Structure 1
Amino acid sequence: MSTPGSAPILRLNGVSKSFGAVSALTDIALEVYPGEVVALVGDNGAGKSTLVKVLAGVHQPTSGIVEFMGEEVSLTSPGKALELGIATVFQDLALCENLDVVANLFLGQELSPWRLDEVQMEVRAWTLLKELAARIPSVREPVASLSGGQRQTVAIARSLLTSPKIIMLDEPTAALGVAQTAEVLNLIERVRQRGLGVILISHNMDDVRAVADRIVVLRLGRNNGEFTADTSHQDLVAAITGASENAVSRRAARKNEEAVQ
């Protein structure tokens, strides 16, 4: 987690994004500190994907200020965001299944453009995966033969090779089994221990509460509360849906009544 008095790596102030007459984001405020996981949650259409694309340099904000390492910046392209130190692992992972782990890690950033240094690349790949305690059987294993959790590990490890300050993970545990989900959550914890800021986008509240230091809720393109990991499921659902009366709250009320009786 962030230490008292530390400055945020990333700060958004009044960031808005419109597509013609449609307002996707309105006056968004967000801070991310070194060594903390900030979960970004919200229902479909809440603006999560748009915000991620703004931070990844895919979309430019219509208005507002983005500060990175204390300085105002313009994220004019994905390359600019990556150059500053904002890496994004999208849900589709963008891996080449016919290539092995080493080739995927260094895809587009080979150590020697005209003559690939296979030995050095393999050593760096093993070193990084070992630091992350990744369960990859071999760096020469084709990605097609890896599990969903192992593929997610490769995608996250690839983003670390650029030495980012912040990593954004878009639904990293979607469609994974229990064991694979635990593997990815452990990996997120190790990334945080490296002092990086992590922005986690997820619909799974159990995963969010397992690793997040703070939970930022978006609703209809606006901030709708900031919570800690020990916030009740009921309160999170209320913030996400905008309704305090729902199936979760009714079930919680019934349990309280049964406990009293």
Structure 2
Amino acid sequence: MSTIPLLEAQNIRRRFGHVHALDGANFAVYPGEICALIGDNGAGKSTLVKILSGADRPDEGRILIGGREVSFDSPATAQQLGIATVYQDLALAPELAASDNLFLGREIMRAGLLGQLGFLNRREMRRRAADQFARLSVHLRSPGVPVSALSGGQRQSVAIARAALWADKIIFMDEPTAALGVQQTARVLDLIRQVRDQGIAVVLISHNMPQVLEIADRVEVLRLGKRVARFETRAATVESLVTAMTSGTDAGDVVQ
């Protein structure tokens, strides 16, 4: 594993009135890994992810990509730097085809006058979508099937495939298997591994500790707005993760 983090947050502080959502939080994700970000409710996970994906800005602290300090003023800026986020609501348009959802906001226009008049090149979008689904082993009846006709696991797969199409560095995934059945969960976890194997680092936000230990390479723990522990999952247990989340101490790597 590289010794230089692909993305690093240093001493991030974010206040909302008198509430310190983040109080000097640190975080790092390295190339080619699945890193789980865990913490109890109110630990600051959502705020940190919003800051690292450009949806919010810190009051203090630094963000670095590959050791170089950067500043995000919007999610679009983060996306330009190779970072995407798959939120729990997935942000899919149910009436549109799965292929069209991969290009929401990035539609491919027809050449010439037709494109200037707003006509989409649906054939090209479906071709590229089919290639992306095949690359990640996402199986749909057709890239043209409406999202509303897909199962929950397939919808999650479409959202992840879209993120992987546009992000070349990191994808944040917020509870990607929430409300899925056992079989659908297994397929989504396989897809997350596929994304990692394509060279994109994955940050998994989850409350499912057995699942975290199953899929993540490392775990970083937030408590009360600070990082309190880091684990290599091969040396962690559910009990050690829960102890770190609730008391800020563990039997492994305690950090500030």
* TM-score of the aligned structures, taking structure 2 as reference length: 0.90
Find out whether 1:228 has 2:232 as its counterpart: yes
Of residues 225, 233, 243 in structure 2, which corresponds to 1:238?
Answer: 243
**Offset at residue 206 of structure 1 (A):** 1.6
Give secondary structure in 2 for the equivalent of 1:23.
strand
- Tell me if the contact between 1:101 and 1:143 (Cα under 8 Å) persists in the aligned partners: yes
**Offset at residue 100 of structure 1 (A):** 1.0
- Tell me if the contact between 2:213 and 2:237 (Cα under 8 Å) persists in the aligned partners: no
Task: Give the aligned residue type for 2:160.
Answer: I
What do the CA deviations read for 1:59-106 (whole angstroms, capped 9, x no partner)?
101111100122111111111111111101111001111111011111
Of residues 193, 196, 214 in structure 2, which corresponds to 1:192?
Answer: 196
Distance 1:51 1:228 in 2: 21
Q: For residue 209 of structure 2, what is the aligned residue in structure 1? A: 205
Distance 1:241 1:31 in 2: 21
What do the CA deviations read for 1:96-145 (whole angstroms, capped 9, x no partner)?
11111011111110112633111111111111100101122211111111
Structure 1 unpaired stretches of 5+:
245-261
Of residues 191, 213, 220 in structure 2, which corresponds to 1:216?
Answer: 220
Find out whether 1:160 has 2:164 as its counterpart: yes
Q: For residue 120 of structure 2, what is the aligned residue in structure 1? A: 116
Give secondary structure in 1 for the equivalent of 2:94.
coil
Q: Percent identity?
A: 49
Find out whether 1:178 has 2:182 as its counterpart: yes
Distance 2:70 2:169 in 1: 15
Deviates more, 1:150-159 or 1:108-117: 108-117
Deviates more, 1:72-81 or 1:113-122: 113-122
Distance 1:27 1:73 in 2: 18
Give secondary structure in 1 for the equivalent of 2:56.
coil
Give secondary structure in 2 for the equivalent of 1:181.
helix
**Offset at residue 208 of structure 1 (A):** 0.8
Give secondary structure in 2 for the equivalent of 1:161.
helix
Give secondary structure in 2 for the equivalent of 1:207.
helix
Deviates more, 1:44-53 or 1:67-76: 67-76
The number of residue pairs the alignment matches comes to 241
Find out whether 1:48 has 2:53 as its counterpart: no
What do the CA deviations read for 1:140-160 (whole angstroms, capped 9, x no partner)?
111111111110110011112
Give secondary structure in 2 for the equivalent of 1:195.
coil
**Offset at residue 243 of structure 1 (A):** 7.8
Q: For residue 15 of structure 1, what is the aligned residue in structure 2? A: 12
**Offset at residue 26 of structure 1 (A):** 1.4
Task: Give the aligned residue type for 2:203.
Answer: I
Of residues 56, 61, 82 in structure 1, which corresponds to 2:79?
Answer: 82
Structure 2 unpaired stretches of 5+:
110-114, 250-256
Give RMSD over aligned pairs. Answer: 1.4
* TM-score of the aligned structures, taking structure 1 as reference length: 0.89
- Tell me if the contact between 1:11 and 1:67 (Cα under 8 Å) persists in the aligned partners: yes
